Chains A and B, each alone.
Chain A
Amino acid sequence: MKYLEEYRDANLAHKLLKSILHLVEDSHSKITLMEVCGTHTMNIARAGIRRLLKDRITLLSGPGCPVCVTPYPFLDQAIAYSRSKDVIIASFGDMIKVPGSSSSLEREKAKGAEIQIVYSPLDALKTARENPNRKIVFLGVGFETTAPAVAATIMIAREQKIQNFLVLCGHKLVPPAMKALVMDPDLRIDGFLCPGHVSAIIGSKPYEFIARDHGVPCVIAGFEPLDILQSLEMLVRQITDGTSRVEIQYSRVVKEEGNPRAMDTMLEVFEPVDSTWRGLGMIPQSGLRIRGVYGGLDASVQIPVHIEKSAEPPGCICGQILKGAKNPTQCPLYRKFCSPENPVGACMVSTEGTCAAYYKYEE
């Protein structure tokens, strides 16, 4: 077992697809499902699944790309820090190109700012150790998958008394955003394909209110083509049976209880707070901030900085795209003024953004 290739069998995929289309053959109305995770968006596009479902099932892409939902003030704060001579910014790669109100980290880098792309927050911690006279500001972006890794790094930094490692916290929580989507009167979602690796941490319980109180079926899905198809089949079956519950397709990784140790680590360092998402606005208790006891490692507390007034690019409909209300081809900038080489909005910048996925695979 490699736990990858086994779930990519084309022959099996074809049969599963037929089974899904057979199930929806008799349904009167078109079914609308949403995949919440950016990695799902990318893999669905790569496998051509959206097209294969023909006109029977619409797959909407949700706000599952952390880079895309990060609001301008966070980026502008990071850009302001990068202009300070004693700061080194450390970040996951996707954040670097995202345009802020008047600049981007990439442009600041060209002007001489020190910006390090890291794979792990531990790499940023290493940079802090090696540069004791500089402040390392790590950009903490990501959902529940990523937040525990950043929390663990903060705990290690405190334990090892590394004074110059700081985190600008922009972490977000997925279930409160899903709640905002099911409450949105402009959207009708018949089922959620829930994010596999967020769920590896939080388990299946945090989605139960969606199935129970809102009657929307949820299936926690893996990322290989067969995982996605099987999850779609499970969703469609719930819909045609008239039931709504939370099912786990990705059971080789996701347990009902999630990963309690990772959850404890996350909540030791961070606490939930009201948070603004691009496209969705303020969502109660949907973000994380660093708890007061870890304030010594909180960049916002330790480095006060003036942030410019936010300005979003005119014409960009990232906001509508992020909540599945519109698709990229409905954007006036798409392809004409906004492409992966020259992105205007975040959904085109991130490799997991809906616009980038459409640009690369869907047309």
Chain B
Amino acid sequence: MCLAVPMKIIEMNAPEAVVELGGVRRRIHLALLATENLKIGDYVIVHAGFAIQKMDKREALETLKILEQMADAQ
């Protein structure tokens, strides 16, 4: 039930936004995030109609880098 998915912001109209994942669009509410830090193109984690966290691109890449290093160490 804590299922939440990363979706891309394609329209901003605070306190709402339209987000997309794999062609599926959804209108979501931004009450739980500071909208001044959000812009079109950002990914947010969407749960029950609300964005609950902004995706950190730098950390996402860092995790991938660590994963590859771990695999290479084999």
Contact = CB atoms under 8 A, between A and B. Distances in A.
A311 interface: no
Interface string B1-35: 11111100000000000000000000001011110
Interface stretch (A76-84, A247-255, A298-306): A247-255
Q: Which applies to chain A's interface (DSSP): helix, strand, loop or mixed?
A: helix
B49 A3 contact: no
A149 B43 CA distance: 18
Q: Which applies to chain B's interface (DSSP): helix, strand, loop or mixed?
A: mixed
**Size class of the A contact interface (CB-based, 8 Å):** 35 or more
A16 interface: yes
A143 B4 CA distance: 13
A15 B5 CA distance: 26
A6 interface: yes
Contact of B63 (A37, A121, A252): A252
Interface stretch (A51-59, A101-109, A194-202): A194-202
B2 A19 contact: no
Contacts of B61: 1
25 contacts: A1-B61, A3-B43, A3-B55, A7-B64, A16-B67, A16-B71, A65-B1, A66-B2, A94-B1, A120-B50, A142-B2, A145-B52, A146-B2, A148-B52, A149-B48, A150-B48, A152-B32, A156-B31, A195-B2, A197-B3, A197-B4, A222-B63, A251-B63, A252-B56, A259-B53
Given A149-B52, A197-B45, A252-B56, 8 more contacts: A4-B5, A142-B2, A149-B48, A197-B2, A200-B45, A201-B53, A252-B63, A253-B55
